[in-house]
Amino acid sequence: MTRVAAVDCGTNSIRLLIADLDGEGGLLDVVRTRELVRLGEGVDRTGRFSDAALERTLTATRNYADMCRKHGVERIRFVATSATRDAANRAEFTDAVHAILGVPAEVIPGTEEAALSFRGALIALAASGAPAVTDKYLVVDLGGGSTELVLGTHTPDSAYSMDVGCVRLTERHLHSDPPLEAELDSIRRDVNEALDTATDAVDLGLATEVVGVAGTIGTITAHALGLSSYDVQSISGSRLPLADVLEACAALSRMPRAERVALPYMHPGRVDVIAAGAVIWSTVLHRVAEATAEAGRPLETVTTSDHDILDGVALSLGSAGAAH
């Protein structure tokens, strides 16, 4: 067993996984936690991290460093994604992370983010007992600043990172409570424009199983399931009819904020961005459904995995020659 720690710093949240690698490609969780720090707040507009966002995120990083010491972690890998790729003052952040953790803060490209998410999602699905698929998975990682599409069977065949995410598009388009239809249409337009380019790289019509990952999709799944809390065991590995998922997206995108706050599975840090996330997810699913129907394999169900890039990063620390 090798004890490793993976940190995934996205636009909306920073997450830590401390786990034991069993030498056969398996992970045994020791600690899995997240904090919604909104590092990317305002980055789409200003191109920079705000001082407040940096302080929130670095405070969480210090807490994670303490946890790593407490649990005797041998290897650490810290990856940063969309917001950090976009921020002009990212060196201030990455230097501070290096000083706190003693390892580089890796600002990874969207293609690597997609590949890591794919690996983590499929390992988790196997562990959950979800039905095996021998053809093509389309893994969709819907984040705060970007959304990754990756298609493959056991490893990725193609991938694309779209600059559409729930924080980015909330800040860009949503100003009313509840959102106006014109605002929701603006999000759909942005996502469809991104998909027009993405589909040159990723053939959505080849997908036989769609797997959605990350907290936004998990929350939409919890709504579709009618859960009384954010129950990971019920969410991860679940396969729901496409119509049920689209209905949940429609409800969450049009719901007044006060109703969203009252939902028992809604994390406080996701209340203000879930409407945009729901529109992004439904727009992607509509496009996949159209493409698979044209290919003669209509999409009927949607699978959710609560495991994603974080698991992929942890697994990467078991690779030969990993030196983190």
Residues 280-296 have pLDDT tens digits of 999 999 999 999 999 99
Q: Where are the domains of the chain?
A: 2-111, 114-309
- Asked whether residue 238 carries a pLDDT value surpassing 80, the answer given is yes
- Listed in sequence order, the residues at least 6 apart from 46 whose beta carbon sits closer than 8 Å to its beta carbon are none
| Average pLDDT over every residue of 91-115 | 92
- Asked whether residue 27 carries a pLDDT value surpassing 50, the answer given is yes
Domain spanning 2-111: which CATH class is it, in words? alpha beta
Joined tokens for residue 168? 């980015």
The answer to whether 274 and 207 are in contact (CB under 8 A) is no
Q: Tell me, what's the pLDDT at 323?
A: 42
d(Cα 139, Cα 149) in Å, to the nearest integer?
A: 6
Joined tokens for residue 286? 């509509």
Q: How confident is the model at residue 324 (pLDDT cuts 50, 70, 90)?
A: very low
d(Cα 29, Cα 15) in Å, to the nearest integer?
A: 13
- Asked whether residue 69 carries a pLDDT value surpassing 60, the answer given is yes
- Asked whether residue 9 carries a pLDDT value surpassing 70, the answer given is yes
- Asked whether residue 304 carries a pLDDT value surpassing 60, the answer given is yes
Q: Tell me, what's the pLDDT at 126?
A: 67
Joined tokens for residue 171? 């800040």
Average pLDDT score, the chain:
91
Handedness of CA 170, 219, 65, 62 (dihedral sign): positive
Determine whether domain 114-309 maps to CATH 1.10.238.10: no
Q: Comparing 2-111 with 114-309, is the CATH topology the same? A: yes
Residue 295 burial by Cβ neighbours in a 10 Å radius (0-12, 13-18, 19+): middle
pLDDT digits (tens, 9 = 90+) for 176-217: 999 999 999 999 999 999 999 999 999 999 999 999 998 999
**Strand 147-152 versus strand 156-162 pairing type:** antiparallel
| Average pLDDT over every residue of 79-107 | 92
| Average pLDDT over every residue of 157-179 | 95
d(Cα 280, Cα 249) in Å, to the nearest integer?
A: 9
Q: How confident is the model at residue 321 (pLDDT cuts 50, 70, 90)?
A: very low
d(Cα 181, Cα 256) in Å, to the nearest integer?
A: 13
pLDDT digits (tens, 9 = 90+) for 123-157: 756 655 555 555 799 999 999 889 999 999 888 99
Q: Tell me, what's the pLDDT at 185?
A: 98
- Mean pLDDT lowest for which of 179-188, 211-220, 268-277, 310-319? 310-319
Q: Tell me, what's the pLDDT at 320?
A: 43
Q: What percent of the chain is modeled with pLDDT above 70? A: 94
- Asked whether residue 228 carries a pLDDT value surpassing 80, the answer given is yes
Q: Tell me, what's the pLDDT at 190?
A: 98
Bridge partners of 151?
Answer: 138, 158
> Which residue's structure tokens are 């790289």?
201
Q: What is the pTM of this model?
A: 0.85
d(Cα 108, Cα 215) in Å, to the nearest integer?
A: 20
| Average pLDDT over every residue of 216-236 | 95
